[in-house]
Amino acid sequence: MPALRSFLPATLLLPTLALAAAPPTIIRTQTASTISGSWIARLDDSSEFNEILASVLSSAGIESKANYTINHVKGFAFDGDDGVLDILETLTGIVHVEPDTKVYASVPLQHREVAPFANGSLVTQNGSTWGLARLSHEETGAKDYVYDSSAGEGSYIYVIDTGIYTSHSEFGERATFGANFIDDEDADGQGHGTHCAGTAAGTKYGVAKKASLVAVKVLGSDGSGSNSGVLKGIDWAVNNAKEQGHIDRTVLSMSLGGPFSQLTNDAIAEAVAEGAFVAVAAGNENEDASNSSPASTPQACTVAASTISDRRASFSNYGSVVDIFAPGEDILSSWIGFPSATNTISGTSMACPHVAGLAAYLIGLEGPREPESLCERIRELALEGVVEGVGSGTENLLVQNGVAA
């Protein structure tokens, strides 16, 4: 995306930026995850966005690397030093500035096959992955996945990740490329996004087998990206869903994370306010998920990882922000390289698309509802008290699709 430069005369702009009565919050702290010299700013949404943006850019002598307007959360990414931050601290129109930080997908690790058959309005998929089987049975050890034949039809899952290998046999004509917000090829060069898409909506490996998939690329072939890119991805997905007229049937699947970011959390809250359900991975640090984003967003449906033996996965984050557990260890799904490629990997990244797929499945089965109400519906269907070692402050709920006896 080309940089946005202000061409309005400074004499016209400067009077609009009086000294701020209440200075903005500017977080200057640098960590191992911050991108040196790169920042994200949120603007006051009470003014016209383009005018206030042009004024701020001119006054600070900077350029915007990316703009985002997600309902009431509006802002831009920029490069600058402490001198630039000192200027921004004196301006009205700036609400919050924080360092841009790296975000990551979980790291991969291998293969199998299935064959569905119909049985009335319910379909039984024999030889399913253990994760799918766990969704439709109260006890562990089942080998089949039972689901309603509606299978998420009419719903849309935006996979905000490394991209999707849309030619994979798992997706048929249901997966499309949407947008790319990282300096990398449009295709999935890593596999993580394709794996998540397969779990959410693959023909064999997916929860919602008739849902549509849209690739929103914010992570590169090394599995990393930036918060500024994630913000652009959220912005594009929400606006695209609104333009296409299906925001009330839209799910954002976000199997990524980094340090706590108020701007990322605010953006997701606004996506939910616009009508999109957002599933996020709890993170893989074996710590309280409130320390990371987007996992700590209250309005998102935050997913921790469970094992085949109904234990919290050793890597999974936990805590009061976690809404639900879903299978996340040794999950078989689609992969890149050739149309039938598969891989078995672990992470809360694998748990998240089980819930994203379930949200799409319930939209197809029960119709649209408010996103936070949909997360509550998922929690309502869950098994209580079956996961061992959930972690301090974590509610003990394990995902189910509602068909178990």
Q: Which residues are catalytic?
A: 161, 192, 349
Cis ω for the linkage preceding 294 (within 30 of 0): yes
φ/ψ of residue 122, rounded to 5: -95, 145
Alpha helices in 221-278 (DSSP H): 227-243, 262-274
Q: How far apart are CA 403 and CA 405, in angstroms?
A: 6
CA distance 354 to 400: 10
Spatial distance between the Cα atoms of 40 and 76, rounded to a whole number of angstroms: 6
Under DSSP, is residue 290 helix (H, G, I), strand (E, B) or coil?
helix
Which residues, including other chains, have CB under 8 Å from residue 48's CB and lie 6 or more apart? none
Residues of 209-241 as b/e, b for ≥16 C-beta within 10 angstroms? bbbbbbbbbbbbbebbbbbbbbbbbbbbbbbbb
Distance CA 232, CA 251 (A): 16
Yes or no: say if 253 and 161 are a contact pair by the CB < 8 Å rule.
yes
Question: Which residues have CB under 8 Å from 314's CB, separation 6+?
Answer: 286
Q: Checking DSSP bridges between strand 94-104 and strand 25-26, what pairing results, if any?
A: parallel
d(CA 315, CA 58): 46
CA distance 258 to 285: 10
Question: 41: Cβ–Cβ under 8 A, 6 or more apart, which residues?
Answer: 56, 75, 76, 77, 78, 88, 94, 96, 97
Residue count of the chain, please give it. 405
Which residue type occupies 63? E
